[in-house]
Amino acid sequence: MASATRLPLKSIAFTTAVVVAAGASHVNIQKLLVDTFTGPGSYSRIAATVVILANLKSLPGVWHFRVWNAILKHLVFTIPNIPANLGPASLFLPCITTSHAPLWECDYNLHKSNSTYFSDLDVTRSHIICCLLEPGIHALQKNTTNKLVLDKNGDAVKGRWGIMLGGVMCNFKREIGIYQAYEMWSRVLCWDRKWIYVVTHFVKKGTVRPVDSCWEMDLGLEWKCEV
């Protein structure tokens, strides 16, 4: 996430959109579909397409898309509008991210592989940090003026800020089956001068609903963060 502070995010997003639009304008979608799903070898291509679509989450590059989507979503395109009077009260509310366990994420026991939990945690952490702490992130970008972080002499610390992962601990309580939908409830627990401590619970989708969660203000009373 520290790389987000060194890259021109708006320029990258705009350039990517232009390139994708230009490429799509030169593709004959109808001809491409006809060539793919008819003629010799069509059954193999259809089967391959079904497998790919059923496992999109596990394809190369999708993890990067999910993480950068969280960063760009909350820091560039839909900056959260947190009323100042509700900021402190919303700090410990959960950020709820939904996902599922495709076949390629499952092991020989036919449930979500232990190693794949950590890639999901990268995504939900990106959401809660960029959503919940967005005002502080933008303030830190002008630390020399805002003087939020001071050195031993009381002067504003100069240089770039960054958020790095310091460590992860995971406890497994129940399995997640193939294609089972689930929610990741992430909360800020506490912090010190260097670290922010976040806890994430994997919850069966739709099991319970929180009274309050962070991300989206409704008449200034309720702030939800459901991705």
pLDDT tens for residues 29-78? 677 666 666 777 778 878 888 888 888 899 899 999 999 988 888 877 77
Q: What is the pTM of this model?
A: 0.73
* CATH code for the domain in which residue 166 is found: 3.10.129.10
pLDDT tens for residues 123-136? 999 988 888 887 77
Contact 212, 221 (CB under 8 A): no
Q: Which residue has the higher pLDDT, 219 or 18?
A: 18
pLDDT score for 96:
87
Residues 153/159/162/165 CA torsion (nearest 10 deg): -60
Distances (CA, A) of 25 to 22, 28, 29, 181: 5, 8, 9, 35
3/154 Cα distance (integer angstroms):
27
If DSSP codes are grouped into helix, strand and coil, which group holds residue 153? coil
Average pLDDT, the chain: 78
Of 14-23, 36-45, 87-96, the poorest mean pLDDT is in 14-23
Residue 162 has pLDDT above 70, yes or no: yes
> Number of structural domains, the chain?
1
Question: Helix crossing, 9-25 with 62-72: angle to 10°?
Answer: 130
Residue 89 has pLDDT above 80, yes or no: no
Tell me the residue range of the domain where 46 lies.
Answer: 2-224
Question: Helix crossing, 62-72 with 117-132: angle to 10°?
Answer: 10
If DSSP codes are grouped into helix, strand and coil, which group holds residue 224? strand
Segment 200-216 shows an average pLDDT of 74
Nearest to 176 by CA among 123, 120, 225, 124: 120
**Contacts of 49 by beta carbon, 8 Å cutoff, 6+ apart:** 36
Nearest to 101 by CA among 170, 180, 173, 174: 180
- From the centroid of its chain, how far is CA 42? 36
- From the centroid of its chain, how far is CA 161? 20
- The per-type count for the chain, helices as H runs and strands as E runs, is 8, 5
